A and B are shown apart, each in its own frame.
Chain A
Amino acid sequence: MSLLLILGVIAVTQVIFVVLLAAFVVVRRERRSRRVQRVQSGRAQLSAPLAKWLVEASSVEKFVAGLRVLPHESALAFASEIHDMRVPLEQRASFGAALRNAPCVHWAIAGAGSWRWWRRLDAARALGIVGTLDDADALRELLEDVHPAVRLAGTQALTAVADAELVRVAVAHYPYEALAVRHFTTNTLRTVWQLAEAPLRSFLTSPEATARELAAWLGLAESLNLPSLRLATTALATHADSEVRVAVARALRRYPHAETVEALRRLLDDPQDFVRAAAAQALGTLRAAEAQPWLERRLTDQAWWVRFRCALALALLGEPGRAALRHARQSPDRFAREMAVMTSGLADGAVLELAEV
């Protein structure tokens, strides 16, 4: 075949492809528009049974049966929205039970072993609504999925499948999880804190735990805000690794207690500046009036961040702290003077906002 003929064939193929692609775009746009209309009209049809069920004027089964008019993905998405609504726990439980045999849920759970991660994601999401203790094995696999999005949805199912072993697994995996998965694990563990408390305490006191693990578990303990974890947290204030000490400093702001303030005073003299900064921030959050002289002293710290956090903490201590900042504006120390000028101009709202971040 000559080169000219090859080029000719390629040119004709290109024309065919261009026409096919244009046709595909036009047809797809039309089909999508019809599908959107179908979903919108289906959801509109469901609004009356939904409203009746929410005011307990009709049974949940009626509404769940109505979900069949929607394509599976849309039905599941709608069910997720309803599950996330602020409805009484009993109503949510009855919704989960009624939905268990809905076709969209069967379809979603059947995808738990799929090679496509978005199908596994749908399975995890469905289990978050309808899961029970019987689904513990399936959920465990989803919690150990390779895709973080699936693990994220899986952690949300822990509320429904409140299994002690699964909660322990979630806490054990926590230090190795992506930010978003950690965040949602924390939110879920708040709802099953009774199951999370024991494994978390045992991990925090484990001699085998690495600094990275301890720092992550301290962060989790801080978020769960369980008084029973205060001692285990404070005990780590003298840990050799600064990553752990800074996590302790952050976590201690959740525990207003004399021992906490004393531990933070020691951390305010830590050799690492970021630990001192976190300790100052925590003392401000705790509104620890007794910390005022320590914070004033640290306004001359070598590290900008420590001076900044101390100045904000002083501003949070109310009038005495503000007075100390005004006084520091005349300080012979340039660092203290500049930081006092910078923070004393801030409005109360601004101080709160900056101190939080």
Chain B
Amino acid sequence: MHALAEMLAALDTTILVYFLLLNSFYALLLLLSFPELWTHFQLADDEYFSHVLSSDALPPISVLVPAYNEEVTIAASVMSFLTLQYPRHEVVLVNDGSKDRTMEELIRSYDLYEVPPAIQRTISTAAIRAVYRSRTHTRLLVIDKENGGKADSLNAGINAARFPFVIACDADTLIEPDALLRLARPLLLGREIAAIGGTIRVVNACKVELGRVTEARVDSRWLPGCQTVEYLRAFLFGRLGWNRIGGNLIISGAFGLFARKYLLAIGGYQVGNVTEDMDLAVRLHVHLRQRGIKAAMPFIPDPVAWTEVPSSRKILHRQRERWHRGLIGTIWERRRMLFNPRYGTVGLVALPFFALGEMLAPVVELLGYLGLVLGLLLGAVNKPFAVAFLAVAIGYSILLSMWAIVLEEVTFRRYNARRDLWRLFFFALVEGIGYRQLTVYYRLHAFWKVARGEKGWGVMQREGFANAK
């Protein structure tokens, strides 16, 4: 019994140290995000620069849209991509062997005609059945191919893209009309760019008209509401903070811009990886580092794409388990980079943080809960100490969420209604109790699936946009 009590005490100390280190790093990210956010806000909020950004100084961009079984929404989705405010862009839609009438709908809606598949196959993909151009919309190219998954479709799009920069989008993501203009800002201001990440926000309760979010709202339901705060925190200071450190490891798969030459150089997306976006970002970092290329991969906060988040525990479970499985897979594959000075900031800071602070976090948290319960049962843990520690841990996550809301308020203010502000406060307060433990469980499940060698995406059912017209 004495040995067990000592073990529990050691576990408590370990968790306390882990907690302090991890949260100190989050605090550092928060501090680093201030100057980044302020700089972006100065440019993003300036009407003068809106004018600059809509100029034809912008480089042309290919928007890659993989589609699978989207017959109901495909025509409207394509139109929303074609009508994005950008002086020169093409849309490369890749039909990934849909089993429904997606292709027929596209042919009918856009008067497509088949052209010879004169596309360079730099990255190997599943067989291409046919290539189509539109008689009515010259900026549209449609590739019909055998089913190979999202990564394979994006690779086919990268092959076919005409322009030096490509944007990877999901067909069901709503991109704000001026988001491409904003996303291209670092290119205009003279930085050598390998990739740029934009912000993803939660669309669930927003008012959507003709494929555009016309009024941002915070969902009153528990799961989407907590995820709204979670997304704000992740994008507004998590990724901005990483900009300053130089180790941004995630360019969202639903909305990110890449220099095509670097994607071709690394062989495009890795087919079969369940979180292809993080894997791609890591491989890009490695490629740039190994060749001494000084190209940045910044995240910028004001270009916004809206996505639906799971509103049921079942779907959230699948999503978070898949994300975590992808994280474990990527870290495992790149384990030689951990603490390896040859890979610079990514090897020394970013990847270790993702391994210890993100990948192992649910395990540590579980051990913490178990240790706490056991300790209390055995009387090995001081009750007031345990309560105070829990309060500080939950308080810290509330504080970080509140900071994210403050950053949102002083900069971009998407949520105008007072009701939404109160909802954000409310979810920031309650997220740490219940929701957090739920996601810990889902992420732990990922370890179990990895141990059993399970792969695959799982079905992501969507509700469709509420308030859509």
* CB-based contact A341/B388 at 8 Å: no
With the chains together, A350 CA to B56 CA distance in Å? 19
Chain B 165-196: CB-based contact to A (< 8 A → 1; otherwise 0): 00000000000000000000001111100000
A152 CB within 8 Å of chain B: yes
Per-residue interface assignment for chain A, residues 323 to 357, with 1 indicating a CB less than 8 Å from any chain B CB and 0 otherwise = 00000000000000011011001110110011001
A346-B55 in contact (CB<8A): no
B402 pairs with A21, CB closer than 8 A: yes
- Asked whether B434 is an interface residue with its Cβ less than 8 Å from the other chain, the reply is no
> Which residues of B sit under 8 angstroms from A133, Cβ to Cβ?
none
Residues in B with CB closer than 8 Å to A169 are none
Separation of A184 and B59 alpha carbons in the complex (Å): 15
Given known contacts A148-B190, A179-B190, A14 and B392 CB-to-CB distance under 8 angstroms: yes
Q: Mark A15-32, 1 if CB is under 8 A from B, else 0.
A: 101100110111011000
Which residue of chain B has the shortest Cβ distance to A351 in the bound complex? B138
A29 pairs with B421, CB closer than 8 A: yes
A84–B50 Cα distance when bound, in Å, is: 14
Q: How close is B164's CB to chain A, nearest CB, in angstroms?
A: 12
CB contacts (< 8 Å) of B385 on chain A: these are: 3-4, 7
Question: Which A residues are in CB contact (< 8 Å) with B52?
Answer: 152, 180, 184
Q: Which residue on B lies nearest to A152, using beta carbons?
A: B52
Q: Is A80 close to B, CB under 8 A? A: yes
User: By the criterion of a CB under 8 Å from any partner CB, how many residues of chain A are at the interface?
Assistant: 50
B56 contacts A183, C-beta separation under 8 Å: yes
How many Å lie between the Cα of A353 and that of B138 in the bound state?
A: 8
> Which residues of B59-102 have CB atoms within 8 Å of chain A's CB atoms?
59-60, 88
| Contact present for A28 and B410 (CB under 8 Å) | yes
A304 contacts the other chain (CB 8 A): yes
Decide: A149 and B425 in contact? CB cutoff 8 A: no
Residue in B closest to A339 when the chains form the complex, CB atoms = B118
Tell me if A77 is interfacial: C-beta within 8 Å of chain B: yes
Bound CA span A21–B408, Å: 12
Q: Which of B43, B139, B391 lies at the interface centre, i.e. has the most chain A CB atoms within 10 A of its CB?
A: B391
Query: B290 contacts the other chain (Cβ, under 8 Å)?
Result: no
Q: Per a CB cutoff under 8 Å, which of B58, B133, B392, B403 touches A21? A: B403
Q: Which of A144-195 contact B (CB under 8 A)?
A: 148-149, 152-153, 177-184
Bits for B108-126, please: 1 = Cβ < 8 Å to A, else 0. Answer: 0000010110101000000
Task: Please tell me if the beta carbons of B116 and A342 are within 8 angstroms of each other in the complex.
Answer: yes
| Least CB separation from A3: chain B residue | B385
Complex CA distance for A158 and B457, rounded to whole angstroms: 57
Task: Give the residue of B187, B388, B406 whose beta carbon is less than 8 angstroms from that of A4.
Answer: B388
User: Whose C-beta in chain A lies nearest to the C-beta of B90?
Assistant: A357
- Closest Cβ of chain A to B236, distance in Å, is 14
Chain A residue numbers with a CB within 8 Å of B382 are 4
A245 near B: Cβ within 8 Å?
no
Judging by beta carbons under 8 Å apart, are A350 and B138 in contact?
yes
Alpha-carbon gap, A295 to B270, bound state (A): 40
* Cβ of A10 under 8 Å from chain B: yes
Residue in chain A with minimal CB distance to B190: A178
| Interfacial chain A residues near B115, Cβ < 8 Å | 341-342, 345
Give, as a whole number of angstroms, the nearest-CB distance from B30 to chain A: 12
> Could you tell me the distance between the alpha carbons of A357 and B162 in the complex, rounded to whole angstroms?
10
- Does B47 count as interface, using CB distance less than 8 angstroms? yes
Interface centre among A22, A117, A152 (most CB of B within 10 A): A22
* A357 CA / B190 CA spacing, docked (Å): 21
Q: Out of B113, B187, B425, name the residue touching A179 (CB < 8 Å).
A: B187
| Residues on the B chain within 8 Å of A11, using CB | 388, 391-392, 395
Tell me whether A181 and B392 are in contact in the complex, defined as CB-CB below 8 angstroms, given that A21-B402, A357-B60 are known contacts: no
A149-B49, A346-B133 are known contacts; what are 6 more A-B pairs with Cβ within 8 Å?
Answer: A4-B385, A4-B388, A149-B43, A184-B55, A342-B133, A346-B138
27 contacts between A and B (CB under 8 A): A3-B385, A10-B395, A11-B392, A14-B392, A17-B399, A21-B402, A21-B405, A25-B405, A77-B48, A117-B42, A148-B188, A149-B49, A153-B48, A178-B189, A180-B188, A180-B190, A181-B190, A338-B116, A342-B115, A342-B118, A342-B133, A345-B133, A350-B135, A353-B138, A354-B138, A357-B60, A357-B162
**Chain B residues within CB distance 8 Å of chain A:** 42-43, 47-49, 51-52, 55-60, 88, 113, 115-116, 118, 120, 133, 135, 138-139, 162, 187-191, 382, 384-385, 388-389, 391-392, 395-396, 398-399, 402-403, 405-406, 409-410, 418, 421, 425
